[in-house]
Structure 1
Amino acid sequence: MWAGALWKHPKAITKSGLQHLAPPPPTPGALCSEPERQIRSTVDWSESATYGEHIWFETNVSGDFCYVGEQYCVAKMLQKSVSRRKCAACKIVVHTPCIEQLEKINFRCKPSFRESGSRNIREPTFVRHHWVHRRRQDGKCRHCGKGFQQKFTFHSKEIVAISCSWCKQAYHSKVSCFMLQQIEEPCSLGVHAAVVIPPTWILRARRPQNTLKASKKKKRASFKRKSSKKGPEEGRWRPFIIRPTPSPLMKPLLVFVNPKSGGNQGAKIIQSFLWYLNPRQVFDLSQGGPKEALEMYRKVHNLRILACGGDGTVGWILSTLDQLRLKPPPPVAILPLGTGNDLARTLNWGGGYTDEPVSKILSHVEEGNVVQLDRWDLRAEPNPDAGPEERDEGATDRLPLDVFNNYFSLGFDAHVTLEFHESREANPEKFNSRFRNKMFYAGTAFSDFLMGSSKDLAKHIRVVCDGTDLTPKIQDLKPQCIVFLNIPRYCAGTMPWGHPGEHHDFEPQRHDDGYLEVIGFTMTSLAALQVGGHGERLTQCREVVLTTSKAIPVQVDGEPCKLAASRIRIALRNQATMVQKAKRRSAAPLHSDQQPVPEQLRIQVSRVSMHDYEALHYDKEQLKEASVPLGTVVVPGDSDLELCRAHIERLQQQEPEGAGAKSPTCQKLSPKWCFLDATTASRFYRIDRAQEHLNYVTEIAQDEIYILDPELLGASARPDLPTPTSPLPTSPCSPTLRSLPGDAVPPKGEELIEAAKRNNFCKLQELHRAGGDLMHRDEQSRTLLHHAVSTGSKEVVRYLLDHAPPEILDAVEENGETCLHQAAALGQRTICHYIVEAGASLMKTDQQGDTPRQRAEKAQDTELAAYLENRQHYQMIQREDQETAV
């Protein structure tokens, strides 16, 4: 409903658009004397909640435009720069001192509830549009189909558009496009109407006023008796009541966001949901948890929940649903904002949120399939047979959680997680970056390996699964870690049970079959887990009785503790209802008229650099112009992106020399490239590697498919590469310029060194193909790789690592330095990563006896030193495992 006064006055519509009818502007002196009103950044659920209240967040939006207009802008009057605020629900921007002016001109935000007045509260009502003036508007006018002229400065007083902050319809601000009758017409709530909770469902109740004290006491006593029967939540009075109007077509959604998950992602994504939905269906979990909201909305039919956070956030919500015993329990979808996100990966929601538009996420939640998830009870009691000598003062008799959704484990991995948690609690300021956290994990893992704290795990446990004693088998295996796994994923995406089809002696692994997978890990299999390996498959079972004879580190869904000698029973608790992201079968824009999918598609592949993507991903046309053609692939018409990836990578392998029309650029694809959706949203966005099997090629591309290559140079940094519109043969790397006579003399080594020194990648590549020796050294025994590192050329380094013999990695110059020593001393983190992953030794020392890690320490790059130390430990573990195997 439009809350501004201007819509009640038809004369307010002028040739230049809709103008505010407002009182005369205040004087600066009057402004200073008025008390400041509280600026809210959260939804107010109290009795005193203001109807149509804005939800303000600080913003650094460009331009000086202020929604109150130049005539009433306080910042304009005071002639000074002040902070700006943006309403997340209706997206207007004002200067902070101008917020009170909005109230004076009677402009309110879209109403998120309705008042309980004298009219019958059961009377059906509808939602009216909430029209807002826009000085900037994307898209096209709903009436005439033409775009909106953009005004970027405050001095342009013209309003270019009028749009509804509920349904997002937009019109030109002129009578020919926006008619008066549209002001009061009902609003459809837009494309996401099925998941939006209408404000007409949310009723603000008035607290009953009793005049007689005796009546108050009697009712209070009666109220207490009823409350004791109903439970503490059902009997308590709330200012807001939810009165839904059920419809089989609706799937109302509650969004719970953990702002602490995923760095600052949670805090930012709240604002997007407040724009697309009713603000009263979006909840910040740091403001009290999910229980109050779930209790309030418990009678809403077809309710769905979106948990925005890590696996711990999902577990929190599922446990709350257990407590409330909602019938039927609402299915839970996941927007992964954490670090591990193994449950999210299992249900096809991916390993982490990148930049997919919130509008697409809402569509996925609405269209997702409802599935079941096993949840497992954990019951621990002290082991009466454990002697007093086995007591540990730091151990506890209670588990951190009494139910798990992902896994329960004990041994090495739990010890590492426990060390991390204890250190973070003691010194939280030292764990403020994901890189440092990973380095701490790696260092703790190596220390635990050296100490061998988990090597005797098998001697102190007894495992009985479905009545079968597995202890002898475990003692033969001598594992340092045992995992009881409910879902296929573990430890940030690994598959410890193995990939489907690899375990012929067992039933396929499922998250809804009532069975747990029991897996043992040695240090060798733990190391192999990160590169596609798996543990020792012990059994699949419905019930576990685990007995420990001493204090052992354990973890429940990532929550660790040191558990005293105990007897632990694991059994199926119940099944949670979840939403699994569905594979979209809808015809793509290529076939929007429902034409049959062709047998084969011939699609041009173009790649985009990270620099260009970050700068231009909101402008499709400019980003397309900045892309670099890679080649053409021919794929089946019903291919998903997983199959298309194989064709694109084969495109690079067909011609290892990179020649031919299929490879117009010299640079190879990096291993971290990903697909870009260029069709289904108003801007480009990345597709998670784990979700490629859910998307068809025809859904994200028309006649050209775009991929993001994070290691490709941006358009502004590619002086030697052809632009997309330039003829390919003019490139210095083109096949016509590379061809040399068969009897040509191989290039001299000095030419190769000069190309490496000058960072002339294409020249180096041309000389190599003409027969140049990539192992050539200069007078100081410096290799081409030494020279490439000294100039910081990532392209040349990658090329040499891909094409030169492996001996180049550990080749030393006169002073005993390898290229890794040099890169560490210069603080070149990316190049160090390239060289280490290629297999360079981290134990080699120079003439001063320094390893690459010590060179990084001397350069005062502590994070790089920590990374090198971690990889050095890993190499030592690998070497020890190899020696043990021999």
Structure 2
Amino acid sequence: MDSPTSGAAETSTTRIVARSSMMDSFWSCGLSGLRIDKENLKRKISMPQYLRVAIREAIRARDLSYAGYGDVNVGGRVEPPEAPMVVFVNSKSGGRHGPELKHRLQQLMSEEQVLDLSSVKPHEFVEYGLGCLEKLAALGDTCAKEMREKLRIVVAGGDGTVGWILGCLAELNKQGREPIPPTGIIPLGTGNDLSRSFGWGGSFPFAWKSAVKRSLHRAMTGPICHLDSWHVLISMPGEEDIEPPYSLKPAEHCALDPVGYMKLYWSSYGLLQGLAVEEQQPEKVTCYEGVFYNYFSIGMDAQVAYGFHHLRNEKPYLAQGPISNKLIYSGYSCTQGWFCTPCVSGPNLRGLKNILKIYTKESKGSDWKHIPIPSSVRAIVALNLHNYGSGRHPWGNLRPDYLEKRGFVEAHFDDGLLEIFGLKHGWHASFVMGEFISAKHIAQAAAVRLEVRGGEWKKSYMQMDGEPWKQPLNKQFSTFVEIKRVPFQSMMIDGSS
């Protein structure tokens, strides 16, 4: 066992704790909780017609002049709903339940409040839908003003979809357009670790028609909590041809300093001694940036995920649901050398220690520290949530004496820290995912810097929140990754209450 975990029962806290898979299943199947009256629910969450139409037309035309559509409600002639709500549905997530769910949601609220992500993108809603309410409020519409303040968002999709929408909502903070609508989740993805962490369940429920009503009721009444998000900046030499996932965008400005990294590396070994380190820099540098909420990883786990995603895209008929996805994923991992490294590939090159250096900051204002990588580790994960890999807990519930000995603190998703752990190989990962042991603990960090250089390696694999990509490596120049916490915390609805 890599590290001791607590065997005693945990005391109750005000924080959300990860539920077991069994409890997830019972909760999401709707076997507990009060009976929700359909008409009463619809009355509480449906927007007035004139506002629904104004929002819809503003989004369609991409023009805020539609904020004057109909009469402005000056003087409070129209009462706002108790809990106005907008639902985003990703019809491509998980087992393709989206179309049926969309129809059911439209029965439970107005049609205009259910947005299909294939036709309405979240940034369009933020700019024009919320902008419409804000403009009407500025014109004196008290109903629009109160709705904008009370609005809640529900996302029917997987972790990637939820992260996409959280990222768009975060733009409101940058623009000074507060409050930020809190977000609830109806899980449609394969892993649904964000959903699990906030008490929304780990899978699309069997008794889904009644469960959807309960989900909307919980989204209406659930308390608000916070979620850390993490900014990733990648700097690579030259103009490498890569296919970045949706979560990564070209960066206009790259603030990484390769020479500073070299000085950091040598000083960590006490070899700098006040001398300047001269490091030749590439003529051209390409940068990408993005945000993750769940995890960032590099190594074999990302390689397996990359192959699985391409297989699913080439043969979509295989993706019939979360269970079939997990079976295919497990089978595919056996073909990638994750469980048994092919001899021809050179086993000595498989350890990340050969290509990767890690530096961390333990807290804001602290110094960077070089963290040695165990030679056996073939995948490294920086984890933000309680859950990873469909509800597993690789960090474990560690005993207080072990936490003190290692200088760790209890892990939470709003503590400003990432838990960094390693996976050695497929067999080790299987025992970790089965929760027989915890993963290889490496560090807890408020910021992380990675330096990757190819040598015999031509490429590596990375992923953010389940979106993998193939990262080309250069033998002469390093690729740098910097991870820092975003100052703004996302607003989430606690679905466990």
Alpha-carbon separation, structure 1, partners of 2:445 and 2:71: 44
Are the structure 2 counterparts of residues 272 and 396 from structure 1 closer, same or farther at C-alpha, using a change threshold of 3 Å? closer
Secondary structure (helix, strand or coil) at the match of 1:287 reads coil
Tell me the alpha carbon deviations over residues 623-647 of structure 1, each in whole angstroms, 9 at most, x when there is no partner.
Answer: xxxxxxxxxxxxxxxxxxxxxxxxx
Paired position in structure 2 for 1:464: 359
Are the structure 2 counterparts of residues 248 and 437 from structure 1 closer, same or farther at C-alpha, using a change threshold of 3 Å? closer
Alpha-carbon separation, structure 2, partners of 1:323 and 1:201: 23
Equivalent in 283, 290, 297 of residue 409 of structure 1: 297
Are the structure 2 counterparts of residues 278 and 527 from structure 1 closer, same or farther at C-alpha, using a change threshold of 3 Å? same
Establish whether residue 545 from structure 1 lines up as the match of residue 453 from structure 2. Answer: no
Tell me the alpha carbon deviations over residues 439-471 of structure 1, each in whole angstroms, 9 at most, x when there is no partner.
Answer: 432233222233366722111001000144444
1:594-673 to structure 2, matched below 5 A, reads: none
Are the structure 2 counterparts of residues 248 and 515 from structure 1 closer, same or farther at C-alpha, using a change threshold of 3 Å? farther
Report the Cα offset of residue 198 of structure 1: 2.4
Alpha-carbon separation, structure 1, partners of 2:80 and 2:381: 42
Alpha-carbon separation, structure 2, partners of 1:383 and 1:242: 57
Tell me the alpha carbon deviations over residues 781-817 of structure 1, each in whole angstroms, 9 at most, x when there is no partner.
Answer: xxxxxxxxxxxxxxxxxxxxxxxxxxxxxxxxxxxxx
Count residues with an aligned counterpart: 363
Paired position in structure 2 for 1:90: none
Report the Cα offset of residue 360 of structure 1: 1.6
Report the Cα offset of residue 426 of structure 1: 3.5
Paired position in structure 2 for 1:70: none
Report the Cα offset of residue 484 of structure 1: 0.5
Relative contact order: is structure 1 or structure 2 higher (C-alpha 8 Å, sep ≥ 6)? 2
Report the Cα offset of residue 422 of structure 1: 2.3
Secondary structure (helix, strand or coil) at the match of 1:318 reads helix
Paired position in structure 2 for 1:577: 491
Are the structure 2 counterparts of residues 567 and 512 from structure 1 closer, same or farther at C-alpha, using a change threshold of 3 Å? same
Q: Is the 8 A contact 1:380 1:397 kept in 2?
A: no
Paired position in structure 1 for 2:140: none
Establish whether residue 527 from structure 1 lines up as the match of residue 430 from structure 2. Answer: yes
Q: Is the 8 A contact 1:455 1:480 kept in 2?
A: yes
Paired position in structure 2 for 1:297: 130
Report the Cα offset of residue 407 of structure 1: 0.3
Paired position in structure 1 for 2:183: 332
In structure 1, give the amino acid aligned to 2:161. T
Paired position in structure 2 for 1:511: 413
In structure 1, give the amino acid aligned to 2:152. R
Paired position in structure 2 for 1:198: 48
Establish whether residue 323 from structure 1 lines up as the match of residue 218 from structure 2. Answer: no
Are the structure 2 counterparts of residues 236 and 312 from structure 1 closer, same or farther at C-alpha, using a change threshold of 3 Å? farther
Paired position in structure 2 for 1:790: none
Paired position in structure 2 for 1:557: 465
Secondary structure (helix, strand or coil) at the match of 1:491 reads coil
Report the Cα offset of residue 382 of structure 1: 1.4
Alpha-carbon separation, structure 2, partners of 1:290 and 1:283: 9
In structure 2, give the amino acid aligned to 1:451. T
Report the Cα offset of residue 302 of structure 1: 1.0
Secondary structure (helix, strand or coil) at the match of 2:101 reads helix
**CA RMSD of the aligned region, Å?**
3.1
In structure 1, give the amino acid aligned to 2:332. T
Alpha-carbon separation, structure 1, partners of 2:297 and 2:70: 43
In structure 1, give the amino acid aligned to 2:341. M
Alpha-carbon separation, structure 1, partners of 2:490 and 2:245: 24
Report the Cα offset of residue 501 of structure 1: 4.5
Report the Cα offset of residue 424 of structure 1: 2.9
Alpha-carbon separation, structure 2, partners of 1:308 and 1:408: 23
In structure 2, give the amino acid aligned to 1:553. Y
Alpha-carbon separation, structure 2, partners of 1:241 and 1:373: 38
Q: Is the 8 A contact 1:201 1:243 kept in 2?
A: no
Are the structure 2 counterparts of residues 435 and 273 from structure 1 closer, same or farther at C-alpha, using a change threshold of 3 Å? closer
1:218-257 to structure 2, matched below 5 A, reads: 237=66, 240=69, 250-257=82-89
Q: Is the 8 A contact 1:341 1:351 kept in 2?
A: yes
Paired position in structure 1 for 2:306: 418
Q: Is the 8 A contact 1:291 1:320 kept in 2?
A: yes
Secondary structure (helix, strand or coil) at the match of 1:567 reads strand
Unaligned stretches of 5+ in structure 1? 1-166, 169-188, 208-231, 385-390, 584-886
Alpha-carbon separation, structure 2, partners of 1:477 and 1:531: 23
Report the Cα offset of residue 195 of structure 1: 2.1
Report the Cα offset of residue 396 of structure 1: 6.1
Q: Is the 8 A contact 1:242 1:296 kept in 2?
A: no
Establish whether residue 498 from structure 1 lines up as the match of residue 391 from structure 2. Answer: no
Q: Is the 8 A contact 2:159 2:189 kept in 1?
A: yes
In structure 2, give the amino acid aligned to 1:347. F
The two structures have a TM-score, normalised by structure 2, of 0.66
Alpha-carbon separation, structure 2, partners of 1:446 and 1:575: 38
Paired position in structure 2 for 1:380: 234
Establish whether residue 451 from structure 1 lines up as the match of residue 341 from structure 2. Answer: yes
Are the structure 2 counterparts of residues 478 and 234 from structure 1 closer, same or farther at C-alpha, using a change threshold of 3 Å? farther
Q: Is the 8 A contact 1:479 1:520 kept in 2?
A: yes
Report the Cα offset of residue 435 of structure 1: 5.4
Q: Is the 8 A contact 1:202 1:243 kept in 2?
A: no
Alpha-carbon separation, structure 2, partners of 1:399 and 1:543: 23
Paired position in structure 2 for 1:850: none
1:28-67 to structure 2, matched below 5 A, reads: none
The two structures have a TM-score, normalised by structure 1, of 0.38
Establish whether residue 370 from structure 1 lines up as the match of residue 370 from structure 2. Answer: no
Secondary structure (helix, strand or coil) at the match of 1:421 reads helix
In structure 1, give the amino acid aligned to 2:215. I
Secondary structure (helix, strand or coil) at the match of 1:286 reads coil
Percent identity, please: 30
Secondary structure (helix, strand or coil) at the match of 2:394 reads coil
Alpha-carbon separation, structure 2, partners of 1:367 and 1:242: 30
1:201-216 to structure 2, matched below 5 A, reads: 201-202=51-52
Alpha-carbon separation, structure 1, partners of 2:72 and 2:398: 47
Report the Cα offset of residue 477 of structure 1: 4.6
In structure 1, give the amino acid aligned to 2:183. V
Are the structure 2 counterparts of residues 537 and 564 from structure 1 closer, same or farther at C-alpha, using a change threshold of 3 Å? same
Alpha-carbon separation, structure 1, partners of 2:324 and 2:215: 31
Larger Cα-atom Rg: 1
Are the structure 2 counterparts of residues 249 and 267 from structure 1 closer, same or farther at C-alpha, using a change threshold of 3 Å? closer
Report the Cα offset of residue 394 of structure 1: 7.0
1:830-845 to structure 2, matched below 5 A, reads: none
Tell me the alpha carbon deviations over residues 400-424 of structure 1, each in whole angstroms, 9 at most, x when there is no partner.
Answer: 5211010000001000011112233
1:66-215 to structure 2, matched below 5 A, reads: 190-202=40-52
Equivalent in 238, 246, 261 of residue 93 of structure 2: 261
Tell me the alpha carbon deviations over residues 41-77 of structure 1, each in whole angstroms, 9 at most, x when there is no partner.
Answer: xxxxxxxxxxxxxxxxxxxxxxxxxxxxxxxxxxxxx
Tell me the alpha carbon deviations over residues 187-231 of structure 1, each in whole angstroms, 9 at most, x when there is no partner.
Answer: xx62453322122534559x9xxxxxxxxxxxxxxxxxxxxxxxx
In structure 2, give the amino acid aligned to 1:576. S
1:690-839 to structure 2, matched below 5 A, reads: none
Secondary structure (helix, strand or coil) at the match of 2:43 reads coil
In structure 2, give the amino acid aligned to 1:198. P
Are the structure 2 counterparts of residues 496 and 439 from structure 1 closer, same or farther at C-alpha, using a change threshold of 3 Å? same
Secondary structure (helix, strand or coil) at the match of 2:166 reads helix
Secondary structure (helix, strand or coil) at the match of 1:193 reads helix
Alpha-carbon separation, structure 1, partners of 2:129 and 2:81: 22
Alpha-carbon separation, structure 2, partners of 1:398 and 1:201: 35
Tell me the alpha carbon deviations over residues 639-689 of structure 1, each in whole angstroms, 9 at most, x when there is no partner.
Answer: xxxxxxxxxxxxxxxxxxxxxxxxxxxxxxxxxxxxxxxxxxxxxxxxxxx
Are the structure 2 counterparts of residues 540 and 383 from structure 1 closer, same or farther at C-alpha, using a change threshold of 3 Å? farther
Report the Cα offset of residue 329 of structure 1: 0.8
Paired position in structure 2 for 1:818: none
